[in-house]
Amino acid sequence: MSCGLGAVILVFMLVKQNIESSPSETENLKKDISSLEQARDDAQKGLDELTSQLKKENIDLAALSQSLQQQRADLNDKSSEIQTAQSNLDQLKKSITEIKVPKKEDLVETQQVNEENYLLGLKMEGSKIAILVDVSASMTNEKLLDIIKTKSSSDQAKVSAAKWQRTKRVVAWLLARAPKNSQIAVIAFSEDAKQLGGTGWMPASSASVSGIMNSLNQVIPTGATNLQKGLNTVNKLSPSDIYVITDGLPTKGESNYKSLNPFSGCSSLTSNAKTISGECRKRLFRQTINESGLTQAKKNVILLPLEGDPEAAYEYWAWASSSDGLLISPASNWP
């Protein structure tokens, strides 16, 4: 028993009794606990941030979904509007194709492919239609140098000139579109004036138009432009509508210009000078219009191109517009 007791005492002495008294292990445990708590706090903070971001994304997603639904609704409305517009367009096209366009029968057959009744608003109309055709030397060409050359050329060269051929086509175009129940008269004027195809008013018929064009084909463009001669001849007929085919302001007249103060400086009208200035041509035109007496007739002017007469367009426009008529300066490919 003594040996056993001694062994127990020996074991008791060898075993460590105060566990809590070990400072190093306690500190390690505290550090581990602190680390775990920090990790927990960091994890919680990250979880909170993720939760907040998720909520924000859910809100944005809801807004995008609502915007998408609105856009789909707008698209459906637009599609419906397009379908309605297309249906209306198809109906309009159908209505247009069903319109019966009255075909105008021309008095004479022309070679032009353009068969429109209107040219920039110009329409052949009226009960008594007078056409004044300028047949002066300038109606052969557009440029002054070419006009001067043609003046000294043969009659064949004058009647073959491009501008004169165009002038005759303009006359034919107008005559072809005269109303059948109207009366017509064509007066050619330069230094003098004469009616073509007969005298007095003629019916708008193929026979009358053919006779007028045959007479026009015999005319040789020459001389100065005396618009007053043409207007005096037309005035005797009392027309309802006048169509003037010319290329510029007049260069001669019938008045006693020496007694008129506005013409004191216009030597071509008061003496034997052969040239006339633009200002004097303008004064001459206005004097001619004042003395023409054509107050009731509607005036329309087809102004062909001419070099060096810039005042012509405005002066003829003012004259035509005073009677609700038109001035046109047609394109080079018409008619």
Q: Please give the structure tokens belonging to residue 202.
A: 């003629």
- The H-or-E segment that residue 64 falls in is helix 23-98
What the chain holds in terms of domains, given with CATH numbers, is 128-328 (3.40.50.410)
Burial of 104 (0-12, 13-18, 19+ CB in 10 A): middle
Closest CA to 241 of 202, 293, 195, 183: 183
The residue with tokens 């379908």 is 83
DSSP 72-100: HHHHHHHHHHHHHHHHHHHHHHHHHHH--
Residues 149 and 226: their CA atoms lie apart, in Å, by 21
- 103 three-state secondary structure: coil
The alpha helices in 177-277, defined as continuous H runs, are 206-217, 227-235, 267-270
Confidence of residue 178 (pLDDT cuts 50, 70, 90): very high
Q: Is the pLDDT of residue 272 over 60?
A: yes
Residue 224 is classified by DSSP as -
Alpha-carbon distances, residue 242 vs 12, 85, 145 (angstroms): 149, 47, 31
Question: Which range, 40-54, 214-228, 293-307, is most confident?
Answer: 214-228
Confidence of residue 3 (pLDDT cuts 50, 70, 90): confident
Confidence of residue 22 (pLDDT cuts 50, 70, 90): low
Q: Is the pLDDT of residue 169 over 60?
A: yes
Mean pLDDT of 68-86: 89
pLDDT tens readout for residues 209-256: 999 999 999 999 999 999 999 999 999 999 999 999 999 999 998 888
Helices 162-176/206-217 angle, 10° precision? 170
Higher model confidence: residue 22 or residue 4?
Answer: 4
Q: Which of 2-16, 108-122, 170-184 shows the lowest mean pLDDT across its residues?
A: 108-122
Higher model confidence: residue 36 or residue 306?
Answer: 306
| Cis peptide bond prior to 203, omega within 30° of 0 | no
The reported pLDDT for the residue numbered 122 is 80
Alpha-carbon distances, residue 230 vs 10, 129, 151, 195, 227 (angstroms): 161, 14, 22, 9, 5
Helices 278-292/227-235 angle, 10° precision? 10
Closest CA to 191 of 152, 221, 225: 225
Average pLDDT along the chain: 86
Q: Which residues contact 306 (CB under 8 A, 6 or more apart)?
A: 138, 142, 247, 248, 312
Q: Is the pLDDT of residue 20 over 60?
A: no
pLDDT tens readout for residues 279-293: 999 999 999 999 887
The reported pLDDT for the residue numbered 335 is 84
pLDDT tens readout for residues 105-129: 555 555 554 444 455 578 889 999 9
